[in-house]
């Protein structure tokens, strides 16, 4: 196993821009509330005077609207972690302009990432043959992914479309991250319970630097003491260690890895699987039940 210290010492190089050719020019980040119309005239950007969308479904936001969306969606997400629409809005509102562009540059610096940006594949039931994946070996990436979906009762069709990222290519990067999330779950074995989601978000934050994944750690305040203790002693250190040292997971072309041995892919990326959280929770419940029964038996005997 590689030591963590060399990885930490090279952290700055992981997030520094490396010159490379570009697939598509990034739209300049607006510094004033002004936009240029198709006929070349400049007009003020306001709630009542929006620029045209840059891609289907795009909703241009003013700076004030983006800030309000970030705060509002963040509060709702904290108290209701199953509001996926609010979590998605928080991710988009806080990713621009720097963080999503950093992730795009990470893809441009990788040959595989550049192919993903060129091909723009989508992860959904319509593009994945889940029946075929279920027939693959249990230790293949595709088989592991299908088994995780079945065990957790999750569908790949639940990811909201990106709306609030202005640049079209950056919007695809956010969409790719969002649709790949369940593959990260399958690769690590973490379940969709709040405790598992927080652990995975910590891993994603260390690996992608997307602010929403870091803000998700505020959910620790709503967890039970035993869950918080497990995070700080087991899953938090695992997330930081593996997120920092592993390759950029956004650059995995999942569609081409379905028949790959899942342990081989983990080794290639530099990701170790954490202790099985469902097993730990099951053992903890069994121990609590045993203690209660023992206490009841002792009370009955006296």
pLDDT for the residue numbered 298: 80
Strand partners, 36: 42
Threshold 0.85, pTM exceeds: no
How many CB atoms sit inside 10 A of residue 256's CB? 13
pLDDT for the residue numbered 38: 52
Residue (of 30, 148, 183, 155) closest to 97 by Cα position: 30
Q: What is the 3-state secondary structure (H, E, C) of the chain?
A: CCCHHHHHHCHHHHCCCCCCCCCCCCCCCCCCCEEECCCCCEEECECCECCCCCCCCCCCCCHHHHHHHHHHHHHHHHHCCCCHHHHHHHHHHHHCCHHHHHHHHHHHCCHHHHHHHHHCCCCCCCCCCHHHHHHCCCCEHHHHHHHHHHHHCCCCCCCCCCCCCCCHHHHHHHHHHHHHHHHHHHHHCCCCCHHHHHHHHHHHHHHHCCHHHHHHHHHHHHCCHHHHHHHHHHHHHHHHHHHHHCCCHHHCCHHHCCCCEHHHHHHHHCCCCCCCHHHHHHHHHHHHHHHHHHHHHHHHHC
Instruction: Name the burial class of residue 196, with classes exposed (0-12), middle (13-18) and buried (19+) by CB atoms within 10 angstroms of its CB.
Output: buried
Q: Which residues of 29-58 are buried (b: 16+ CB within 10 A; e: fewer)?
A: eeeeeebeeeeeeeeebeeeeebeeeeeeb
CB 143 within 8 A of CB 137: yes
CB 72 within 8 A of CB 79: no
CB 99 within 8 A of CB 211: yes
Q: What's the rounded Cα separation, in Å, for the pair 55 and 270? A: 36
Residue (of 95, 105, 120, 102) closest to 22 by Cα position: 105
Q: What's the rounded Cα separation, in Å, for the pair 97 and 66? A: 11
pLDDT for the residue numbered 235: 96
Consecutive 10-residue runs of the chain (302 residues): their mean pLDDT?
Answer: 41 45 43 50 60 91 90 88 86 91 96 97 93 93 96 91 95 96 95 93 96 92 92 96 96 97 97 91 83 78 72
């Amino acid at each position: 196993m590689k030591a963590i210290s060399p990885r930490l010492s090279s952290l700055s190089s992981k997030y520094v821009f490396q010159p490379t050719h570009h697939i598509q020019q990034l739209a300049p980040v607006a510094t004033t509330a002004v936009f240029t119309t198709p006929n070349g005239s400049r007009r003020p950007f306001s709630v009542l005077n929006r620029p045209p969308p840059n891609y289907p479904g795009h909703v241009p936001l003013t700076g004030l609207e983006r800030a309000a969306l970030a705060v509002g969606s963040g509060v709702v997400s904290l108290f209701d972690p199953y509001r996926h629409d609010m979590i998605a809005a928080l991710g988009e509102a806080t990713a621009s302009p720097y963080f999503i562009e950093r992730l795009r540059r990470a893809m441009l610096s990788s040959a595989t990432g550049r192919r993903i940006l060129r091909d723009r594949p989508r992860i959904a039931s319509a593009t994945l043959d889940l029946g075929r994946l279920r027939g693959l070996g249990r230790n293949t990436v595709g088989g592991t992914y299908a088994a995780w979906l079945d065990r957790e009762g999750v569908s790949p069709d639940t990811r909201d479309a990106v709306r609030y990222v202005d640049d079209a290519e950056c919007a695809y990067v956010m969409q790719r991250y969002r649709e790949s999330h369940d593959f990260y779950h399958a690769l690590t074995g973490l379940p969709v319970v709040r405790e598992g989601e927080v652990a995975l978000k910590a891993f994603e934050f260390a690996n992608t630097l997307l602010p929403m994944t870091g803000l998700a750690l505020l959910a620790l305040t709503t967890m039970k003491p035993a869950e918080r203790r497990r995070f700080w002693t087991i899953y938090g250190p695992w997330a930081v260690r593996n997120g920092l040292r592993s390759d950029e997971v956004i650059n995995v072309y999942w569609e081409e890895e379905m028949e790959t041995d899942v342990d081989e892919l983990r080794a290639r990326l530099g990701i170790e699987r954490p202790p099985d959280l469902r097993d730990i929770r099951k053992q903890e419940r069994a121990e609590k039940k045993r203690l209660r029964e023992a206490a009841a038996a002792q009370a009955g005997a006296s």
